[in-house]
Amino acid sequence: MKTLFFVMLFALSSTISFANEQQSGYLQANKIQSDKLQADFTQLYTDLKASHINLFANVSKAQYDTKYAEIKKQLSEPLSPIQAQILFQQFVAFGNIAHAYIPFPDAEYTEYREQGGTAFPIYVRIKNDKWFVSEDYSSHGLKKDTQITHINGKNVDAVFKALRQHISSDTSDIAASLLEFMLPKYLWLQDLQQGAVREATTICVVNDEKSRMLDVKHLTRKELQNRIDAANTLASNLENKQQDENTEKLREFTFLSSSVAYLKPGPFYNAEDPADVWNNTDFVAFIDSAFESFIEKGAKALVIDVRNNPGGTNSFSDPLIAWFANQPFKFTSTFLIRSSVHAKHANQSRIDANPNGDNAVSLKLAQAYESNPAGTVFEFNMDKALPRKDKQFEGDIFVLIDRTSYSNAVSLAAIVKDYGFGKVIGQPSVDFATTYASMETFTLNNTGIQVGFPKAHIIRPSGDTDAGPVTPDVVIEHINLDTLPEILDNL
Q: Are residues 277 and 214 in the same domain?
A: no
* Whole-angstrom distance, CA of residue 170 vs CA of residue 58: 8
d(C-alpha 443, C-alpha 247), whole Å: 35
Q: Which of helix, strand or coil describes residue 201?
A: strand
**Number of domains, the chain:** 2
Cβ neighbours of residue 151 under 8 Å, at least 6 residues apart? 159, 187, 201, 202, 203
CATH number of 184's domain: 2.30.42.10
Residue 61 in any domain: the answer is: no
Cα 460 to Cα 332: distance, rounded to the nearest angstrom? 5
Q: Which of 240, 272, 298 is the last residue of a domain?
A: 240
Q: How many other C-beta atoms are found inside a 10 Å radius of the C-beta of residue 209?
A: 5
Same domain, 222 and 319: no
Q: What is the DSSP letter of 432?
A: B
pLDDT at residue 16, rounded to an integer: 40
Q: Which of 211, 240, 269 represents a domain boundary (last residue)?
A: 240
Q: Are 306 and 355 contained in the same domain?
A: yes
Are 86 and 192 a contacting pair, CB within 8 Å? Answer: yes
What are the residues whose beta carbons fall under 8 Å from the beta carbon of 44, sequence distance 6 or more?
88, 91, 92, 444, 451
- pLDDT given for residue 208 in this prediction: 80
Co-location of 291 and 225 in the same domain: no
pLDDT at res. 23: 56
Nearest residue to 342 (alpha-carbon basis) of 458, 457, 436, 451:
451
- Please check whether residue 314 is in contact with residue 437, taking contact to mean a CB–CB distance below 8 angstroms: no
Give yes or no: residues 198 and 257 share one domain. no
The DSSP symbol for 446 reads T
Question: Per the domain annotation, does 92 fall within a domain?
Answer: yes
Helical H runs in 52-153? 61-72, 81-93, 106-114
Amino acid letter, 51? S
DSSP letters, 138-172, are STT-PPTT-EEEEETTEEHHHHHHHHHTT---SSH
124-159 pLDDT, tens digit per residue, is 999 999 999 999 999 999 999 999 999 999 999 999
Q: Which of 399, 429, 454, 400 is nearest to 177 (CA)?
A: 429
> What is the value of pTM for the model shown?
0.83
42 domain residue, yes or no:
no
The answer to whether 287 and 323 are in contact (CB under 8 A) is yes
Please indicate, yes or no, whether residues 235 and 319 belong to a single structural domain of this protein: no
Q: What is the DSSP letter of 275?
A: G
**Do residues 422 and 400 touch, judged by C-beta distance below 8 A?**
no
Q: Taking phi first (over 0 means left), then psi (-120 to 50 degrees means alpha), and beta for anything else, what does residue 252 get?
A: beta
In sequence order, the 6+-apart residues with CB closer than 8 A to the CB of 274 are none
Q: Are 405 and 312 in contact (CB under 8 A)?
A: no
pLDDT of residue 22: 54
Q: What is the DSSP letter of 75?
A: G
Task: Please give the DSSP secondary-structure letter assigned to residue 471.
Answer: P
Which residue range is the domain that position 312 belongs to?
252-490
Q: Which residues contact 261 (CB under 8 A, 6 or more apart)?
A: 253, 254, 255, 290, 293, 294, 297, 299, 301, 302, 303, 395
Indicate if 8 and 92 belong to the same structural domain: yes
| 3-state SS track over 408-423 | HHHHHHHHHHHCCCCE
- Which amino acid type is present at position 219? L
Low pLDDT (below 50) residues in the chain = 1-19, 21, 233-239, 241-246
- Cα separation, 216 vs 136, in Å, equals 10
Establish if 65 belongs to a structural domain: no
Domain of residue 382, CATH code: 3.90.226.10
Last residue of a domain, one of 217, 240, 263: 240
User: Same domain, yes or no, for 295 and 434?
Assistant: yes
Together in a domain, 186 and 209:
yes
Regarding whether 322 and 389 lie in a shared domain, the answer is: yes
In terms of DSSP bridges, do strands 200-207 and 210-217 run parallel, antiparallel, or are they unpaired? Answer: antiparallel
The verdict on residue 39 lying in a domain is no
Residue 125 contacts by C-beta under 8 Å, 6 or more apart in sequence? 131, 132, 133, 134, 145, 180
Tell me whether residue 431 is in a domain.
Answer: yes
Partnered with residue 454 across adjacent β-strands are: 439
- For residue 457, tell me if it sits in a domain: yes
Model pLDDT, residue 354: 81
Quick one: 134 and 214 in the same domain? yes
Query: How high is the pLDDT of residue 10?
Result: 36
- 314 and 411 Cβ atoms separated by less than 8 Å: yes
Query: CA nearest 238: which of 285, 294, 182?
Result: 182
Q: Is residue 62 part of a domain?
A: no
Question: What is the distance between the alpha carbons of residues 62 and 50, in angstroms, rounded to a whole number?
Answer: 17
Residues 268, 137 share a domain = no
